[in-house]
């Protein structure tokens, strides 16, 4: 569970939480009479406890909230060896000790983690047995299909529960949380599941000592996943750091880019774009004015009157200049295409190429509307901010010619249901103070 100060959907969250916890308790209670007398090797349980505890002690933060561990590599084979009751008991003990006692997490979070793991274990065991497998006796390739069913169920239940709870507490929707946390790194997640199944096969073929062969693959797989997550996080921090460069030219430009990125993300999600594309649009929005870092732009950006033909030509060069800078980072190549085209218009009167909508990336169309909306609703050197209603009328007036009609329609729809609030922007007086501080600091 993610630690958040408030819950986005309190009623749904309480219903989900109660269903998960009560479901887990019912499953454990129903299996207790049959499972309790059959005690597995205590050394096996103790070893699993130790490895799971180490894994839970150093979880990896997921990009959409929540945490991941490599515990699947141990928990899945243990499940196939001793059954869902005992692996649930071991995992509950691990969560209680690591998160409840040592890390002092809230009781609700600890209980939730116990519950979703328990549901996952029992669902995985059911998938394995109903497709022809036998717990405690895994044979390969005879049990190939049961193993595949077990792996798929384990991944779906655990990733689904994590996504639901984050979506209900912190947002965005559970499906978008799943895309951010699991879809974009699905090969890493599935590699843990596949390696866990392989450990089980080796266990039954070569005995417990055979699993020692997986120590190095386990560590490499875990390290690879951590690096993958760190690179995704570092990329976003790098893009945000680029916006700091804009502060050297004009504080307004940097604040503007941050607001535009938030508007663009709302529009992208409102248009049902996949989360991978939402990330690219957010990156592009944060650096869409990076081409204005040249010294020739400082005077133009702060000029209160109209621009000369030469000044307009200089300003119109900034999308290409910014795209060239952004494209130097391989992971941002697609974002650079959005930066390059964010001033194109549906009627072909935009710049730098005069493209029409069909030739302009969707992300650039979204960025164009978000950029214009923020420009209209914030103070500029040559005018005060427009009221929200006036800005919306301008967007409606330009829909289909200056702005993409579908994007404008989405913005208006979000506004009507209260999902497109105005982000506060500095006043002209505040910006003047920021500029003075920037000059003094320089």
Q: What pLDDT shows up at residue 5?
A: 41
Confidence of residue 36 (pLDDT cuts 50, 70, 90): low
Confidence of residue 413 (pLDDT cuts 50, 70, 90): very high
* Mean pLDDT computed over 265-269: 97
Q: What pLDDT shows up at residue 379?
A: 78
Which residue has better confidence, 384 or 174?
174
Supply 339's token pair. 């930066």
Q: What pLDDT shows up at residue 185?
A: 85
Which residue has better confidence, 309 or 72?
72
Q: What pLDDT shows up at residue 430?
A: 59
Confidence of residue 306 (pLDDT cuts 50, 70, 90): low
Q: What pLDDT shows up at residue 384?
A: 80
Q: Kindly report which listed range (28-42, 54-68, 221-235, 353-367) carries the lowest average pLDDT score.
A: 28-42
* Mean pLDDT computed over 160-169: 94
- What pTM does this model have? 0.84
Q: How far apart are CA 93 and CA 118, in angstroms?
A: 12
Q: What pLDDT shows up at residue 303?
A: 59
Q: C-alpha angle 332/287/387, rounded to 5°?
A: 140
Q: How far apart are CA 295 and CA 71, in angstroms?
A: 53
* Mean pLDDT computed over 336-341: 96
Q: What is the mean pLDDT of the chain?
A: 87
Count how many Cα atoms sit within 13 Å of the Cα of residue 240 in the half-sphere of its side chain.
10
- Which domains, ranges and CATH numbers included, belong to the chain? 10-233 (1.10.1760), 247-441 (1.10.3210.10)
Percent of the chain having pLDDT more than 70? 88
Q: How far apart are CA 58 and CA 195, in angstroms?
A: 20
Q: Kindly report which listed range (81-85, 209-213, 295-299, 356-360) carries the lowest average pLDDT score.
A: 295-299
Confidence of residue 67 (pLDDT cuts 50, 70, 90): confident
> Is the confidence at residue 189, as pLDDT, over 80?
yes
> Is the confidence at residue 4, as pLDDT, over 50?
no
Q: What pLDDT shows up at residue 2?
A: 38
Q: How far is CA 335 from CA 177, 269, 327, 331, 363, in A?
A: 21, 17, 8, 8, 8
Which string of b and e fits 333-345 if b means at least 16 CB within 10 Å?
Answer: ebbbbbbbbbbbb
CB-based contact 339:319 (threshold 8 Å): yes
Q: C-alpha angle 308/286/387, rounded to 5°?
A: 65
Q: Please report where in the chains the tokens 């003990």 appear, as a residue.
A: 93
Q: Please report where in the chains the tokens 């579908």 appear, as a residue.
A: 406
**Based on the number of CB atoms within 10 Å of its own CB, is 301 exposed (0-12), middle (13-18) or buried (19 or more)?**
middle
Q: What pLDDT shows up at residue 188?
A: 86
């Amino acid at each position: 569970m993610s630690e958040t100060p408030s819950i986005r959907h309190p009623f749904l969250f309480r219903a989900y939480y109660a269903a998960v916890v009560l479901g887990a308790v019912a499953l454990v209670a129903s299996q207790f009479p049959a499972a309790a007398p059959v005690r597995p090797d205590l050394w096996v349980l103790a070893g699993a406890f130790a490895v799971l505890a180490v894994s839970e002690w150093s979880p990896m933060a997921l990009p959409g909230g929540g945490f991941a561990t490599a515990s699947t590599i141990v928990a899945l084979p243990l499940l196939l060896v001793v059954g869902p009751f005992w692996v649930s008991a071991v995992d509950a003990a691990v969560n209680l000790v690591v998160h409840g006692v040592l890390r002092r997490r809230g009781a609700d979070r600890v209980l939730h983690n116990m519950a979703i793991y328990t549901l996952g274990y029992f669902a995985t065991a059911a998938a394995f047995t109903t497709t022809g497998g036998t717990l405690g006796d895994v044979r390969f390739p005879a049990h190939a299909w049961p193993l595949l069913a077990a792996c798929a169920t384990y991944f779906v239940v655990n990733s689904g529960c994590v996504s639901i709870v984050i979506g209900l507490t912190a947002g965005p929707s559970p499906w978008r949380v799943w895309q951010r946390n699991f879809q974009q790194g699905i090969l890493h997640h599935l590699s843990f599941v596949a390696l866990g199944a392989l450990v089980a096969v080796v266990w039954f073929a070569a005995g417990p000592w055979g699993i020692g062969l997986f120590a190095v693959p386990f560590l490499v797989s875990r390290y690879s996943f951590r690096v993958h997550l760190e690179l995704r996080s570092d990329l976003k921090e790098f893009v945000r750091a680029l916006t700091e460069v804009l502060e050297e030219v004009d504080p307004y430009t940097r604040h503007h880019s941050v607001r535009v990125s938030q508007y663009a993300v709302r529009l992208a999600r409102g248009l049902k774009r996949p989360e991978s594309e939402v990330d690219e649009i957010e990156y592009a929005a944060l650096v869409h004015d990076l081409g204005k870092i040249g010294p020739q732009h400082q005077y133009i950006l702060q000029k209160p009157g109209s621009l000369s033909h030469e000044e307009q030509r200089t300003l119109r060069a900034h999308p290409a200049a910014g795209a060239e800078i952004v494209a130097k980072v391989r992971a941002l190549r697609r974002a650079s295409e959005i930066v390059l085209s964010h001033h194109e218009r549906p009627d072909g009167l935009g710049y730098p190429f005069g493209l029409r909508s069909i030739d302009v990336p969707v992300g650039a169309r979204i960025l164009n509307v978000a950029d214009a909306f923020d420009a209209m609703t914030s103070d500029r050197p040559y005018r005060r901010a427009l009221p929200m209603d006036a800005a919306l009328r301008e967007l409606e007036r330009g829909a289909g010619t200056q702005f993409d009609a579908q994007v404008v329609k989405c913005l208006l729809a979000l506004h009507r249901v209260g999902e497109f609030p105005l982000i506060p922007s500095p006043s002209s007086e505040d910006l003047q103070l920021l500029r003075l501080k920037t000059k003094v600091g320089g």
